[in-house]
Each structure stands twice: as structure tokens, then as C-alpha cells.
Chain A
Amino acid sequence: MLEFKKVTMQFGALKSVSELDITVNKGEIVSVIGPNGAGKTTLFNVVTGIYTPTEGDVLLEGKSIAGKDPAIINRLGIARTFQNVRLFLNMSVIENVMAATYAQTKSNIFSSALGLPSSRREEREVRARAEELLSFFGTRLTGYRWEQPAYSLSYANRRRLEIARALATNPKVLLLDEPAAGMNPKETQEITEVIERLRTEKDLTILVIEHDMHVVEGISDRVIALDHGVKIAEGDFDSVATHPDVVEAYLGKGSADRK
């Protein structure tokens, strides 16, 4: 589904990601772990077109997408959330989701201005779809919350809204950048279930960056560990979590021996 071929991303002298080979199969949930600065978010930025890789290629369903415009890449079927949550803060909750259907809708400025039937129909459909997507999270983002400005939401709800917004672009592959960051244990448990449901109900392939090992353990078919832009381990959760290089990357040199 999604393939990285010897992807290198260099900023000046710093290689943030170095000759990375990753394959994500259809319907898989793959977690990317690694200490801060390991190149995880850079990886996402390369996939979504924010960065053009210095070397190598990224393939979506066998076709190269490296260096394409972020909007085009999204339209080809990759949606993401952001580590620092980038919502359209001064728009309402439902507008945030409705705005993300932009690429799949057609009405232009004239049909909107004239209030043509086609434009009105489309508007109703978009709204219904947004309401449906927001109901994915139970009642947390429904009802009176629709019209609230996004900045009034709690942190956890912002993360949920960001996922709903990403879903509205009809993706095949979903990239989640630390979906559980800043959540309490109950919310973390919930987001774990949500990610699993995203795969089964929305038929998605999911790539997750996550620091919370409980979440990683709970959701991952496969785990990839990065350090200094290099893949140091890959496999199921247990094998990666106990891999000496991974332990060393997290705890420092020599820790693995002491253990």
C-alpha cells in the first residue's frame, strides 16, 4: 500500500531520515516508535508532501508520490493528523469537518453565490456526512458541540476532531501523529479502540507515531523503531520492545547489558 524506498531527508548537514525502507500493507496498523528527534514526524512530513525527500522515493499503491503537492497527495488518499494539533481554530467543529470535504465536492463560487439547487443539495450532503463522521466518537462531538468554535474544545476532543477531519477527505491511508499524547488513561484506552475501529469500519491502512507503549502494544500489527533517522528494529511489539538497540536508544548506552 505505502512504500518507502531508501528515503533520505537532509537538512543542511543533518540527516533527519536516512535511507529508510518501510512497507505498509493494506489494512495494516503499523506503529513507528523512537526517542525524540528520531525522525518520526519528518517521515510523516515526507509522505504528506510537506518535505520533498533529498533522496529515495515514496510509493502509494505502486505510484510515486514523493515531492508532490500536499493537496495532491491528500487527494490521492493519504490523510494525517498533526503532532501539535492543527485545527482551524476559529471555525466551528462541524465546519472543520465540512471544509475537509473540499476536494470531493464541486460547487464553485458562482453556484454558491446564486444558491443553485445543485449547490444546496451538495451542502446538505456535506453536512450530513460531517455529522456522521463526528458521531464516530459517540456523543463527544455531537449535538451542541457542532456549532462551537474549535478553540473551545478540550485537548482530547481536539485530537478527535482532527481525526474526524482527516476522515472527511476519504483517505485510504491514515497517518496519526501521537494520537494519545496529553490524554488521560481512560481517554487513551478509548483512542486505542477508536484506532482499531478505524481499520475495521473505515477500511483504512494506518501508520501511527506513538510514545505511549500501551497504545502501541494495543493497536500494532507491526512496530518499527527509529533512532537518528535509521530503522533499528522491526517486527511485532514484543520483539521490538525487547530489542537491545531499542532499549539502548531509549535508555542510553549500556542499559541493555545491565538489564
Chain B
Amino acid sequence: MSEQQGLGIGTDEWVAQHEKRLARRSGLLGILDLLNQKVSPAIRYGILGVAAIAFGLFVDDFYLQRIAANLGVFLILTLGLNVVMGFAGLLDLGFVAFFGFGAYAYALTSSGHLNQHWPTYLSVPAIVIVTAFLGYLVSLPSRRLFGDYLAIVTLFFGQVFIQLIISSDSITFPGNEESTDITGGSNGIPGLDPFVLFGYKFKGAADYYWLLLVILVFLIIAIIRVDRTRVGRAWKTVREDSLASQAMGIKVNNLKMLAFIVGAAIAGLAGTIFAGIQNSVFINGFDMPLLTLIYAAVILGGSGSIPGSILGAFVMSVLPEILRVQNYSEILFLSVLILTIAVLGKSWKKFAFNIALVVLIGFLVKVIVSALNIATTPAATWAIAPVSKALQHWLVIPQSRLLWGNIGFVLLISLIAYYSIAKEKIKFYLLPLITYVAIFVWEDRLVIEPNTTRQLIIGMLLVVLMIVRPQGFLGKTRVEVL
């Protein structure tokens, strides 16, 4: 029933929704919409480019250079997935396997592992072509599949890739007595050759940074051009309505294959550079966590939107780095939390009331805890970073951190879930409670487990984003007929 109604947005409804659309612009998300419309793409990319060049010229910090280089690799991946999923609408969950293939292929052709040391100008293009061909092979059985079926076949493909790499450390060839180690199994392959281009031997992340910058400039220009012309349009028709697309003379299967091939080639290229930067390859770097990170980046930014992919890649690649440092992660957490309260509270009055209530709850808990003489963890052990130091007079961390953290965590999830269906009136009082529990769980538990925390945040983000703004931050509102 409801799907049918989605069809009927005609002129009248469009006009009728004018007010609603204006209203939406006023919120925080509306600012994003406005930014998206008002700032011309040329200026946006220009600013980005200048910033990137300035970074390369003036930042000497080795750690930051490495983060930037990894961001570059991640950006290539995000742009590649955006072609496959955003343009052609194919849910390719084996995408990360092509990345892994590129990295492993580089490792095998440029290390002492198999004693192969191919020149970079030969190995990288060859790997890109072979990865593209692999993409073609995977697309063959996937030709007739769509949506969920395609997702599962490609997901399985990714799994098989991992299994093949892990198991190929002792292959016995017919006629050979001894088994050969091809992939290094779960030990990975260390000691790769650095890139050598035009006689220059790459020394560190900074060199790869410049290479990545050049590649990204060309890649972004190429993708924008393709998006606007014949092939890009045809991809979008496949995404929109493949039956109508066929009826208009578009060979849907070929276009799906092409999307797969292009995506695989881009991921393969990213893989070779990644292997060069890392100097080694390990199979667990090419598993589900990375895949979900890339997907989260594309979806967060807005599937199908190139600026969206760039934004998403920034957020998803810089976020984990921030979370790794307790001080930064706490500042980020608190600002996001306060921002969320502000957005949910809708008015300044309510916002102020909320904050006051949160502070009150904190002191209340502290008083109760000290009155009952419950053992607590001394502040000196948990309040390390400036933010938590500021919180130590207000927040109580019980002695059995783990137990209470877990209880708090389950409570937090339940409260958030309840909040999403509660009545307005209850929501108003629920919010401060949730805020307090969130701060407690964060300080008690999450801040010491950055990896799990990152994943939790990504998971939560995906669910909430799909409900609140399925088109992502910079994506266009989409209408879909089911």
C-alpha cells in the first residue's frame, strides 16, 4: 500500500511540499543542503585541492603524513565503490577483495617472498588490468542477479578470497614433494619494495601522498565526466529501473559488468599503493571491518554523490584516528553529544534545561554513591585526559568498572531504543537521562576500547542514518518505486 503511494508525487504534491522543504532547510541538516546547493563545485574542489597541496608542503609530522596517505587510499576506494553502488546501484560486498587482491599482487611481484622484483611502472598497470579482469570474472555469475542476491554472491566471493589467501601458504603442486608457500598465509608478506617511478625511489608516506594526490585529481575528474555522459547516464538507468532501461536499448548486463570492472580496477590500484605505503600485507586488513568502513563512508556522504564520497571518506578515515587518542576522542564525543541534544531539543530553552538536568543527575548520583559508601575507582586512574579531569568532580566510576559499564551500556541501548518510540513529553525527560548514561558509559568503558567503540559508532550511525536521512549528508533526496 504505502509503496504505491510513493508513486504519486506529481506537480501538486511538489508544490504542496514547498513549505516542508523550506522548513527542512532551517535545521542542521538543512545547512548541509544549502551548502550543497550554494557553493559551486569548482570552488569546493578548488579549496580542497589547495588545502591538500598546502598539507603536503607544510606538514612534516610523520604520523600525520601517514594518516593523510591512508586517507588518500581510502578516498580512492570510496570513489570506486561509489561508481559500483552509487551510480550503477550494485551492492558489491566483495569490493574489498579486489583491494586485497591488488595489495597481494603487488606484494608477490615486489618482494623477496617469491623473489620477484618487478619495476613499478610494469607491476602496477599489470595488476590493475588483472584486477579488472577478476572483476569481470566475478561479474559473470552476477550478471543476472540484483540487490540482495548480488550482495550475497559477492560477500561470499570476498570470504573465499580471504580463505584462499590464508590457505595458500602450503600448496603442494603435482610432482612436487614439498609444499610451496604462495601467500604467506595468516603471517602476511613483509618487506615489500617501495614504488620506484621515473628513477625516484619512494621513501615514506609523504612521497605516496603526492602520488595519491595526482591520482585522485585525475580520478575525480574522470569520474565526474563519466557520471555526466553516456555511460554514467546508462548506469543510473540501470540503478533506477533496469527493465525500462533494457526497453530503451541499453544492454543492462554489459553495464553491470562494466561497473564491476571499473570498481575492481580502482580498488586494485588502491591496493597496490596501500601495499607500498604499508611495506607489508596482512589478510585481516581486507576483511569485513574495512568493507563496512567503505560502505559507511559512501552512504554517510550520500550514495551516488562524488562530493559526498569525499566527505564520507574524510569522516570515516579520520574518525578512527581521533578515537585512538583519548583526549581528542573525548572532546569529539562530548561535542557530538551536545550537538545531538541541541538538535533533538529544538529550542534553546529546552536545551538549557536538558544540560541543567544532566548536571543535576550527575551530582545526585555522586551524592547517593558517597552516602551509601559504595566503593569507587579513584579519579586518578580514569581521569587522565583533560576532559575527563574536568569531569572527575561530577562523574562517579564504580569500582567494578567492567560490570557497571556493561550494565550501563545495555541500559543506554535500551533507553535510546525506547526514546525512538516514546511520546514527546517522555522524550523530554528521557534525553538528560540518556545523556548522563552515555557520558558514564563512555568514560567507564568505551574510551578504553577505541576499536570496539569505533565499530559501535559506525553501526549505530548506519541504522540512524537510514532512518533519519537515507540519502546521506550530501546526497539528493531519492524517490524509489518498489
Contacts and interface: CB of A to CB of B under 8 A. Distances in A.
Q: Tell me if chains A and B make direct contact, with any CB pair below 8 A.
A: yes
Interface of A: 48-50, 69-71, 74-75, 79-80, 82, 84, 86-91, 95, 98-100, 102-103, 105, 107-109, 112-115, 119, 122-123, 126, 149, 151-155, 157-158, 165-166, 168-169
Main secondary structure of the interface of B (DSSP, over half): helix
B250 A71 contact: yes
Contacts of B236: 88, 90-91, 95, 99
Contact of A102 (B250, B476, B481): B250
Interface stretch (B221-229, B268-276, B338-346): B221-229
Contacts of A109: 226, 231, 258, 262
Contacts of B12: 154
A109 B241 CA distance: 21
B14 A152 contact: yes
B424 interface: no
A169 B241 contact: no
Contact of B229 (A88, A103, A107): A107
B7 to A, nearest CB: 8
Contact of A79 (B221, B231, B232, B247): B247
B248 A74 contact: yes
A115 B225 contact: yes
A104 B234 CA distance: 13
A112 B248 contact: no
B250 A99 contact: yes
Given A71-B251, A102-B234, A91 B11 contact: no
B243 interface: yes
Contacts of A166: 248
B244 A113 contact: no
Interface in B212-268: 221-223, 225-226, 228-234, 236-237, 240-241, 243-252, 258, 262
Nearest to A112: B229
B243 A50 contact: yes
Contact of B225 (A79, A98, A113): A113
B240 A102 contact: no
A91 B228 CA distance: 11
Contacts of B241: 86-89
B436 to A, nearest CB: 42
A43 B402 CA distance: 68
B229 A119 contact: yes
27 contacts: A70-B247, A71-B247, A71-B252, A74-B247, A82-B244, A86-B241, A87-B240, A88-B236, A88-B244, A89-B480, A89-B481, A90-B478, A90-B480, A95-B236, A99-B233, A99-B245, A105-B230, A107-B231, A112-B229, A112-B230, A112-B232, A113-B221, A113-B225, A115-B225, A123-B229, A152-B11, A152-B14
Given A89-B240, A115-B225, A151-B479, A98 B246 contact: no
A122 B233 CA distance: 14
A95 B252 contact: no
Contacts of B28: none
B10 A165 contact: no
Contact of B237 (A70, A88, A157): A88
Interface residues of B, number: 40
Contacts of B222: 113-114
A48 B245 CA distance: 12
B9 interface: yes
Q: Which of A151, A154, A166 has the most CB of B within 10 A?
A: A151
A100 B240 contact: no
Contacts of B9: 151-152
Q: Which of A69, A109, A112 has the most CB of B within 10 A?
A: A109
Interface in B70-105: none
Given A69-B246, A89-B240, A90-B479, A112 B234 contact: no
B246 A74 contact: yes
- Of all A-B residue pairs in the complex, the 9 with the closest CB atoms, nearest first, are A103-B249, A113-B222, A74-B249, A154-B11, A88-B240, A86-B244, A151-B479, A70-B246, A154-B10
A154 B262 CA distance: 37
Nearest to A75: B249
Nearest to A109: B231
B293 to A, nearest CB: 26
Contacts of A126: 230
Contacts of B221: 113
A149 B14 CA distance: 11
B248 A100 contact: yes
A107 B244 contact: no
Contacts of B243: 50, 70, 86
Nearest to A48: B247
Contacts of A48: 247
Given A70-B247, A151-B9, 7 more contacts: A91-B233, A99-B237, A112-B229, A119-B229, A122-B230, A123-B229, A154-B10
A245 to B, nearest CB: 32
A169 B225 contact: no
A207 B133 CA distance: 44
Contacts of B237: 88, 91, 99, 102
Contacts of B233: 91, 95, 98-99, 102
A169 B231 contact: no
Nearest to A171: B249
Interface in B353-386: none
Contacts of A102: 230, 233-234, 237, 248-250
A229 B249 CA distance: 28
A78 to B, nearest CB: 9
A119 B231 CA distance: 11
Nearest to A70: B246
Q: Which of B223, B225, B244 has the most CB of A within 10 A?
A: B244
Nearest to B12: A154
Contacts of A49: 246
Nearest to A107: B230
Q: Which of B222, B225, B478, B479 has the most CB of A within 10 A?
A: B225
